[in-house]
Amino acid sequence: MISAQQLDALDPQMRQALQSLMAEVAANDERLRAMDALIAQRDHEIAFKQAFIDKLTHEMAVLKRLKFAATSERFASTLSPEQRSLLEETLDTDIGELEGELARHRKRADRNDDEKKQPKGAPLPDHLPRRDVPHEPADTTCGCGEAMQRIGEDVAQKLDYQPGVFSVERHVRGKWVCKCCQRIVQAPVPAHVIDKGIPTAGLLAHLLVAKFMDHLPLYRQEAVFARAGHLISRSTLAQWVGECGAQLQSLVDALADELRRHLVLHADETPVAMLKPGNGKTHKAYIWSYCTPSTNPVKAVVFEFSETRSGENVRDFLRLDTPNAWQGTLVTDGFSGYAACADKGVTSAQCMAHSRRKFHELWANHGSQVGEQALRFYQSLFRIERQIEQLASDERRRIRQRKSRRVLAVFYRWLLAKRQLVPPGSATIKAIDYSLKRWKELTRFVDDGDVPISNNWVENQIRPIAVGRSNWLFAGSLRAGKRAAAIMSLLHSARMNGHDPYAYFKDVLDRLPTHPASRIDELLPHRWHALDQQ
C-alpha cells in the first residue's frame, strides 16, 4: 500500500495514473465483496430450497408408503378394505398436491413427466343389465350426395345407479261376522318395533345399517329417500333410530353377558369427538371395544361409549367391583389404564404386535439393523401362529411350548445383549425396553392355548369406527354415543358371524316385539337363525 508521502513525491502525471488505478482496484474489491455476498445469499437460498424439497420428498415418500406398503410390504400391518378405500382417497389428493409443489420448486418443464396415464379399470361385471344410449351423426349423407356406410363403433362403458324405490305394504285385516249372533271376528294388529309407526322392519333395518355400518348420516339418507320419491324428515328418522336403540338395548345387554362368560377377551379403545353441551364445541370421548378371540367359536364384539379414557370403564364392563367379577385373561395393548384390572384378579396378556411395531418403526424409518433383526424373531413367532390357528387349544399350547418358547428364549437373550450396546435415550433402547418391561405379559400366550399372541383381532373390529369418524364427525351427546355403540355391537357381531347385517336386523326387528324376554339369547348374532331357516 502506497503512503500519502510517497504519493506526493511522485510525478503529477504518474500520481494521477496511480490514483486512477487504485480507485479501480477498490471498485473491483467492492464488486467482489458484493458478488461474494450475492453468492452467499444464493447458496443460502439453494440450501433452503433443497431442504424444502427434501422435506416434500420425504412427506411424499411417507404418503406413498402408507398407500402401497400396506399391501406390498411384508412387515407392514394390513388394512381393511373400508379403511384402505377412504385412506387412499385422501392420500391420492395429498400426493397430487405434493407432486405439483415439487415440480414448481424443481422448475421442471418436461411435459412427459407431468402427463399421467389413466389406469385401465377393471371391466364392469357381465351380470349388470345394459342399456344402449346411441350417439349418431345428425346427417349421414356425404357432401357429394352419397349415403355413408357404418363400418364400426367405439364403445365407452359407464357405471350407472338407480336409487331405491319405495313401496307400500297393505296389511289387510278382514272382518268376519256371524249373521246368527252378530259376532265379529278379526285378526289382531301385528306387533311392530315402533308401535303405530309407519316404517316396516325392512325400512328400519336399512336405516340402521346405512347409518351405523355404512356411516351415512341422517341428512344424507334424507336426501336419498327424497330422490327415491318420498321425503322423510330428518327428525322423523332420528326418532326412529332412537326408538330402535331403546328396543335393542336388551339384546346388547345379553350380548355383553355372553362375553363375560368367556375366560379370554380382547380390549381396546379409540377416540371419537363428542359435542360438548352449551358451547357447541367438541371434546375427546372414547369407544371401548371388547371381543372374543378369533379362535373362539363364539364370535362377538361389544362397543361401549365413554366420556373418558379412564381404566374405570374397563372395570365397570367386567364388573370387577361386584361379587360376580369377571376372572380371566384380558388381552390389551400397553395402555396403563388396563393395569388396575390386574389388582382385581384379572390376568394381563399384552400384544406382541405392539412390541413388534416399535422395531418396525426403527427398520422402516431409519433402516436399523437392530430393528430388522428383531423383526426376524417376530416373523418366526407369527409364522408359528398362522400354522396352528385352526388347531384345538391344547394342541396350540403344545406346539407353542415346543416351538415358540425356544424362539422367545433366544429373542430374550438377544434383547438383553443388544441393550448393552446401544446408547441410553435412543429410539432403539426405548423399543428394547418396551418389550423387556412387559416380557411376562407379552409371552403369556405360550402357556395358554386360548390366549392370542396379539391384540390385532380387536383392532380389526374397531377399524370401521375409525373410518366412520370421517363421516359422522362427532357424537351429538353421551346418550347418542352409547346408542351408536350398542347398535354397532349387534351389526358387527352379525358381520363377524357371516350374516348379512341387513337380513339379521330385519328379522330381529320383526321378532323382537313378541319374543319372550327369557329367550332373548336366541336372537344373539352367534345363535341367530332366520325364521325361514328353522
Query: Mean pLDDT of successive 10-residue segments in the chain (534 residues)?
Result: 59 71 82 85 79 67 56 41 39 45 52 43 62 71 67 61 65 72 70 80 89 84 84 80 86 96 94 67 85 95 92 93 92 88 91 94 88 95 95 96 96 95 87 94 96 93 69 63 88 94 93 91 91 56
Measure Cα distances from 322 to 314, 315, 319, 327 in Å: 13, 10, 6, 12
Rounded Cα distance between 502 and 484, Å, is 16
Q: Are 171 and 187 in contact (CB under 8 A)?
A: no
User: How are strands ordered across the β-sheet holding 329-332?
Assistant: 301-306, 282-291, 264-275, 329-332, 347-350
Cα separations in angstroms, 31 against 34, 40, 68: 5, 14, 54
* Contact (Cβ atoms closer than 8 angstroms) between residue 470 and residue 390: no
Amino acid at position 458, single letter? V
Nearest to 506 by CA among 282, 221, 251, 204: 204
CB of 341 closer than 8 Å to CB of 318: yes
Distance between CA atoms of 526 and 466, rounded to whole angstroms?
24
Find the angle CA(361)-CA(363)-CA(366) to the nearest 5 degrees: 90
Cell numbers describing residue 258: 355372553
What element of type H or E holds 502? Answer: helix 501-511
Instruction: Find where cell 339379521 sits.
Output: 504
Give CA–CA dist 270/484, Å, rounded.
Answer: 14
Q: Which of 443, 418, 442 is nearest to 430 (CA)?
A: 418
Residue with cell 382385581: 344
Strands 264-275 and 175-178: unpaired
Give me the pLDDT at residue 267, please: 95
pLDDT score, position 443: 96
Listed residue (249, 257, 354) closest to 305, CA to CA: 249
Residue 469 · residue 212 · CB < 8 Å: no
pLDDT for 194 equals: 80
The class of domain 198-351+455-534 in CATH terms is alpha beta
Cell of 93: 389428493
From the list 240, 446, 216, the residue with the least C-alpha distance to 352 is: 446
Amino acid at 117: K
Place of cell 379403511: 83
What's the pLDDT at 116?
A: 43
pLDDT of residue 342: 85
Q: Which three cell numbers stand for residue 332?
A: 390389551
Grid cell, residue 503, equals: 337380513
pLDDT at 314: 94
